[in-house]
């Protein structure tokens, strides 16, 4: 039994769907990720300024006009370095978020450990005195 599948019926993985996007669409999508969540009453100009500040720190070739052209999908061409700049900023943010999450986890673990030690020190078990029976200490005044 020979079953043929028409290329029209094949569902391509997400990687191929992204490749089908034009460079302008990819760049605009990356810029949206850099801009992040928009404030309730935040003007577009402020969002673009925020993106420009981050991009120009990484590469001074970025201009406000270029950021606006990418955002509005008006750019006739997108350079590879522009996409790489945006991906690098997004990757750095993700790494920083992971670092902060790991640091917060370690601090919480340390605080819990110290709290457990403090509670053990505060409540001595039965049969222990208040520290007068340490080696070399007879409890008598010398």
* Residue 69, both tokens: 């052209």
What is the average pLDDT score of the chain?
82
Report pLDDT digits (tens) over 37-82. Answer: 888 888 999 999 999 999 999 999 999 999 999 999 999 999 999 9
Please count the helices (runs of H) and the strands (runs of E) in the chain: 5, 0
Residue 121: the pLDDT is 75
Model pTM score? 0.63
Per-residue confidence (pLDDT) for residue 118, from 0 to 100: 78
Q: What does 9-48 look like in DSSP terms, one character per residue?
A: G----HHHHHHHS-HHHHHHHHHHHHH-SPPTT--HHHHH
**Structure-block tokens of residue 18:** 């992204």
Q: Where are the domains of the chain?
A: 13-121
Tell me what the mean pLDDT of segment 12-29 comes to. 75
Residue range 116-139, pLDDT digits in tens: 887 777 666 555 555 555 566 665
């Amino acid at each position: 039994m020979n079953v043929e599948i028409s290329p029209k019926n094949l569902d391509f993985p997400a990687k191929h769907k992204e490749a089908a996007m034009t460079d302008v669409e990819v760049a605009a999508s990356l810029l949206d990720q850099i801009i992040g969540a928009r404030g309730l009453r935040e003007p577009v100009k402020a969002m673009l300024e925020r993106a420009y500040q981050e991009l120009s720190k990484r590469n001074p070739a970025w201009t406000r006009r270029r950021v606006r052209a990418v955002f509005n999908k008006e750019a006739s061409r997108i350079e590879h370095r522009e996409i790489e700049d945006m991906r690098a900023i997004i990757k750095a943010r993700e790494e920083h978020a992971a670092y902060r999450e790991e640091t917060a986890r370690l601090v919480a673990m340390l605080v819990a450990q110290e709290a457990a030690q403090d509670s053990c020190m505060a409540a001595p078990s039965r049969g222990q005195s208040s520290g007068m029976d340490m080696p070399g200490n007879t409890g008598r005044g010398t």
